[in-house]
């Protein structure tokens, strides 16, 4: 269970990720979105993070969530999915971040179709973790926890 000091973190997911477990399981694995949500929350509890997992197929909604994170100084783990490759609106919203931002991908985009090789998000992210399946989210949350610990040590 996360303590009273647990830092809130948003795990945001873009289009088609609610279809995990059904959508191309040979590519994205058999874990459902509900399974991913549980994995992220469990990982957060271990790291003393209060993890909130959201998913949307709507670019405008995702951008609103990013604005919320910037306004509230919330760290974000983001799987932008297809928005990775072309959403300059999302990229511009992410450039306003006020806390760590880790871009995450289940697969390794560099090993997939040519159009997936470009990320308009990577240039404004703290870092990117890709290609480790659902473990990518665990690694991203671990990175956020470490970044927050470093930030806290600097201000102490």
pLDDT digit of tens for each residue in the chain (156 aa)? 445 567 999 999 999 898 877 777 777 667 889 999 999 999 999 999 999 999 999 999 999 999 999 999 999 999 999 999 889 999 999 999 999 999 999 988 777 767 666 889 999 999 999 999 999 999 999 999 999 999 889 887
Predicted local confidence at residue 6, as pLDDT: 79
Identify the active-site residue in 28, 88, 117, 137.
28
* Whole-number pLDDT of residue 1: 47
Q: Binding site annotation covers 85?
A: yes
Is residue 106, in this structure, part of any structural domain at all? yes
Asked if residue 156 is part of any domain, the answer here is no
Q: Is 105 part of the annotated catalytic residue set? A: yes
- Whether 155 is covered by a domain: the verdict is no
Q: Is 126 annotated as a binding residue?
A: no
Backbone angles phi, psi at 77, to 5 degrees: -105, 125
Long-range Cβ contacts of 80-84 (<8 Å, 24+ apart): 80/14, 80/119, 80/121, 81/13, 81/14, 81/15, 81/16, 81/17, 82/14, 82/15, 82/16, 83/14, 83/15, 83/59, 83/121, 84/14, 84/109, 84/116, 84/119, 84/120, 84/121
Does residue 1 lie within any of the structural domains? no
For tokens 């870092």, the residue is 127
Annotation-wise, does 106 bind a ligand?
yes
Domain enclosing residue 69, as ranges: 7-150
What pLDDT was estimated at residue 86?
83
Residues 42, 2: Cα–Cα separation, whole Å:
10
pTM: 0.91
Query: Does residue 37 have a known ligand-binding role?
Result: no
Residue 4's pLDDT is 55
Give the angle 9-105-100 at the CA atoms, nearest 5°: 35
Query: Would you say 92 is a known binding-site residue?
Result: yes
Q: How many domains does the chain have?
A: 1
Q: What is the CATH number of the domain that holds 22?
A: 3.40.50.9100
> Does residue 67 form part of some domain?
yes
Instruction: Please report where in the chains the tokens 């990229």 appear, as a residue.
Output: 91
Q: What is the pLDDT of residue 5?
A: 66
Q: Which residue reads 């995702």 in tokens? A: 62
**Catalytic-role residue among 67, 86, 88, 105:** 105
């Amino acid at each position: 269970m996360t303590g009273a000091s647990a830092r809130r973190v948003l795990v945001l997911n873009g289009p088609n990720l609610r279809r995990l477990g059904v959508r191309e399981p040979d590519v994205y694995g058999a874990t459902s979105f509900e399974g991913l949500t549980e994995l992220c929350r469990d990982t957060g509890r271990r790291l003393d993070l209060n993890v909130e997992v959201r998913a949307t197929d709507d670019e405008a909604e995702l951008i609103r969530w990013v604005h919320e994170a910037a306004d509230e100084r919330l760290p974000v783990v983001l799987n932008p999915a297809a928005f990775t490759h072309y959403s300059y609106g999302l990229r511009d919203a992410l450039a306003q971040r006020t806390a760590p931002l880790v871009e995450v991908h289940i697969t390794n985009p560099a090993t997939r179709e040519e159009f997936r090789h470009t990320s308009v998000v990577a240039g404004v992210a703290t870092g990117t973790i890709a290609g480790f399946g659902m473990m990518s989210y665990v690694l991203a949350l671990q990175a956020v926890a470490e970044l927050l610990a470093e930030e806290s040590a600097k201000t102490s």
